[in-house]
Amino acid sequence: MRPTFSGLHPLNVQKYDNTPTSWDFGSDVGVVLLLPKGEKNAIDKSPWAATVKSALARYPENENPVFLSSSEAGRVAAVFVPEKMQPFKALTLARKAIGPLISERFVGINVISLIGDCESGSRMAEAILAAAYADLFQLPRVSGKSVEPKKLDSISFFGPFESADFGYVEATAEGNNLARWLTHLPGNYLTPGIYRDFAENLAKEEGWRATFFDRDKLEELGAGAFLSVVEASPVRDAGILHLQYRPAGAKGKPFALVGKGICFDTGGSNLKVGGGMLGMHGDMQGSAVALGAFLAMTRLGFDQPVDCWLALAENHIGSRAVKCNDVITALDGTTIELINTDAEGRMVLSDTLALASREKPRVIIDYATLTGAVVAALGQRMAGAITNRREWIEPIIQAGERCGERVWPFPYEEDYDEDLESKVADTLQCRTTGAGDHIYAARLLGRFVDKDIGWVHVDMASSGTHTGGLGHIPTDLQGFGVRFGVEWLRKVADE
C-alpha cells in the first residue's frame, strides 16, 4: 500500500459582507466569533450579546480563545483580536481556535467578525482558513486500516473581509501540505528513485519541464561533491532534478528554489550513534519545502519563470564510502578536504548550487535541515538565514514577519574562511572543532553561487520540527518555508 498525496481537503469557502440576521445555526455548525480585544461592548451588536457577556465574565481577561456553549450552535470560539496583530500571532491564535472545532467534527464552521477594522479581520480570516487546511490534512500512513477523514465541509465568513486573499492561503496551504507529506513518508517509501518518479509525475500534471542529472551525467560533469555522498549507495538512483515553470509570455532571468533532499542519512563513515539516526528519513525536508513553494508559485499563477533544483540522495555506510581527509573536486573545480562525512548536506548542495548558478537566475533560495548549530542558536521556533546581500538582512526579517514564518539572519563575512583553510585542498568541508557551524556551512556553500546572483540560504534545522505544532501548523512536522519562499520571490519580483 503506497500513500498518495491528497492535496487540499475539499472545502466550500464562502465570504459574505454582512453578519447573518439569524444566528440559529444548528448543533452541527461551529462558530468562531471575532471580537476586538479590549472592546467588550462590541458583542452588543450580536443576537448573543447577553449570553456571551455572561459566559465571558467567568474567564480571566488573558484567556484567548474562550470556548462557549450555545443552544443555537454546536460550539463557539470567542477570539479576541488585537489591533495590528503580527501574522505569526494571528496564525497561532487561529490554530488554537479552529483545532477544537474541527476535532468535534462539525460539518460547517461560521466565522463572524464584529471587528470594525477590515485589515485585522481579513488577516484573521486568512489565518483561520490556513489553520483549517493544515488541521484537515492527513499525514501519510502505511496501514491496512483506513483513517476516518475529518468531516468539515464548509467555512463561511461573515463580515468585513474584503481584503482577505483566500487564493494565497489555498496555494501556500497546498504547498505546505506537500512538504509535510513528503517529509513524513518512511525512508523505504521515499528513496531518491521514488522521489524522482513522484516529482516527474507531478511535473507532467502541472506542465513543468523536468531534467534529471543522474550519476552518470554528474560524473561526466565532475560533480565530485555530490558524488562523494553517494559512493556507498547500493542503488544508483541519486541525482539532481531540475524543474522549470515557464508561464506563457514570461521573460527574463528565472528565480531559483534549491532543496537538500537527503532521503536517509546514516552519517556515512562518521556513523551516527545512539538515537542519532532516528528520524533521518526527514533529512530531505529542505527539498520538500522547495517543491512545495514551487507548487504554490504555480498555483498563484506567478508571471515570471521559476526553477526548482532538488538534490536527491542517500548517505550510506559501506566499503566505498568516503573518509575523513579525503579530497574531492566539486563541479566548478574547487577541491574540498572532507572533515565529517555526516556534513553531507553541504556537499550535495554545493554542486546543486553550482548547477543552478549556471542558469544565471535572478535570485536563489536554498532550503536545508543543515546544522545543529542553528538549533543551538535559535531554538526551534524560527529558521536561520544567511545571505550574500548585506542590504537584504532587514528585508528578510520583514518578509518572515509578513508571512508568519519567522527567519533570522546571521553574518556572512569573508574572514570566517580563514578557519576553513586546508593544507591540502582549496577549503575544508567544515571545521574540526568549534562553534558557529551554520555560518561556516554557508561560507562553503557561498563559494558555489555566482557573486552576481542574490542568494538566501535558509537553515531550517531549527524550524522544520516543533513538538505539538507551531503557528498554524498542528503537527510536529512544520513544512516551514513555503510561505517565506513565496513571500520572498514575490518581493524580489516587485523590485
Q: Which residues does the annotation mark as catalytic? A: 272, 346
Q: Is 373 helix (H, G, I), strand (E, B) or coil?
A: helix
In terms of Cα–Cα distance, which of 306, 223, 226, 307 is closest to 261? 226
Beta strands in 203-253 (DSSP E): 209-214, 239-245
Buried b (16+ CB within 10 A) or exposed e, 199-237: beebbeeeebebeebebeebeebebbbbbbbbbbbeeeb
Instruction: Write phi, then psi, for 147 (nearest 5 degrees).
Output: -95, 130
Could you give the CA distance from residue 236 to residue 142 in angstroms, rounded to a whole number?
A: 26
Amino acid found at 297: M
Cβ burial of 333 (10 Å; 0-12, 13-18, 19+) is: exposed
Task: Please say whether the beta carbons of 490 and 475 come within 8 A.
Answer: no
Cα dihedral value 258, 168, 487, 177, nearest 10: -40
Instruction: Map residue 328 onto helix, strand or coil.
Output: strand
User: Alpha-carbon distance 17 to 74, whole Å?
Assistant: 23
